C-alpha cells in the first residue's frame, strides 16, 4: 500500500505509531465504554456499542481511534478520563471533522488535571476517513501530520 499523508490541527500534539481502529460513524464514548465504567474491567476495553458494527466487541485499550467526532451524553468526557484512569483508554483520537465538545472536555481536562495525554488531531478531512482502514499502520507527528501505511 502506498503511504498517504494528511495534515490536521493538533489539539493535543504528540508523536505516536500504531494501528488504526476505524469508525466511519461518530464514536459514542458512553456506549462504547459502558462495560468498563460499571464492571471496572482493567485488562481490556471491549467496545460495548452494539450500534457501531465497525467497533462492537473490538478492544479499545490503547487504540488510535479514527472517526468523525464523538457523540453521546455529557458523561462522555468523564468516560474518556475514567478509561485513562483504569489504564484502558485510547492513545489517540484522529478526527476527520472538528473536535466536538465531549471529546475536547475529556482529553483536555485529563491532560491538564491528570497529566495524561491522549494525542488528539482534528480536521483531517473526509479523504482521511475514506482512506484509513482498521489495522492500517499509522504514524502521528507533533505538527498534526498523520501518515497511513
Per residue, the 3-state secondary structure of 62-73, as one string, reads CCEEEECCEECC
Q: How many domains does the chain have?
A: 1
Is the separation of the CB atoms in 71 and 116 below 8 Å?
no
What pLDDT band is residue 125 in, cutting at 50, 70 and 90?
A: very high
The pLDDT value recorded for residue 1 is 64
Instruction: Name residues whose C-beta falls within 8 Å of residue 84's C-beta, 6 or more positions apart in sequence.
Output: 110, 114, 116, 118
Query: For residue range 76-123, what is the model confidence (pLDDT) as tens digits?
Result: 999 999 999 999 999 999 999 999 999 999 999 999 999 999 999 999
Q: Under a CB-based contact definition with an 8 Å cutoff, are residues 34 and 72 in contact?
A: no
Q: What is the pLDDT of residue 83?
A: 93
CATH number of domain containing 128 = 3.50.30.10
Distance between CA 129 and CA 131 in Å, rounded?
A: 5
- What integer pLDDT is reported at residue 34 of this predicted model? 86
| pTM over 0.75, yes/no | yes
Domain residues for 78?
4-148
Instruction: Write the pLDDT tens digit of every residue in 10-59.
Output: 999 999 999 999 999 999 999 999 888 777 667 899 999 999 999 999 99
Order of strands, sheet of 9-12, starting from the edge strand that comes earlier in the sequence = 4-7, 145-148, 137-140, 16-22, 64-67, 92-95, 119-122, 9-12
DSSP code for 123? -
Distance CA 142, CA 9 (A): 10
pLDDT of residue 37: 79
Of residues 103, 110, 147, the one with CA closest to residue 128: 147
Measuring CA to CA, which residue among 22, 17, 8 is closest to residue 145?
A: 8
Amino acid at each position: 500500500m502506498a503511504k498517504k499523508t494528511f495534515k490536521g490541527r493538533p489539539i493535543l500534539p504528540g508523536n505516536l505509531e500504531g494501528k488504526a481502529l476505524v469508525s466511519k460513524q461518530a464514536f459514542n464514548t458512553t456506549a462504547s465504554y459502558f462495560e468498563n465504567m460499571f464492571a471496572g474491567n482493567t485488562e481490556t476495553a471491549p467496545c460495548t456499542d452494539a450500534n457501531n458494527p465497525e467497533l462492537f466487541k473490538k478492544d479499545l485499550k490503547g487504540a488510535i481511534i479514527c472517526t468523525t467526532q464523538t457523540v453521546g451524553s455529557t458523561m462522555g468526557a468523564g468516560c474518556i478520563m475514567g478509561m485513562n484512569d483504569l489504564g484502558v483508554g485510547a492513545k489517540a483520537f484522529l478526527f476527520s471533522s472538528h473536535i466536538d465538545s465531549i471529546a475536547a472536555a475529556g482529553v483536555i481536562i485529563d491532560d491538564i488535571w491528570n497529566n495524561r495525554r491522549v494525542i488528539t488531531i482534528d480536521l483531517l478531512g473526509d479523504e482521511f476517513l475514506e482512506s484509513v482502514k482498521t489495522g492500517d499502520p499509522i504514524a502521528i507527528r507533533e505538527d498534526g501530520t498523520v501518515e497511513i501505511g
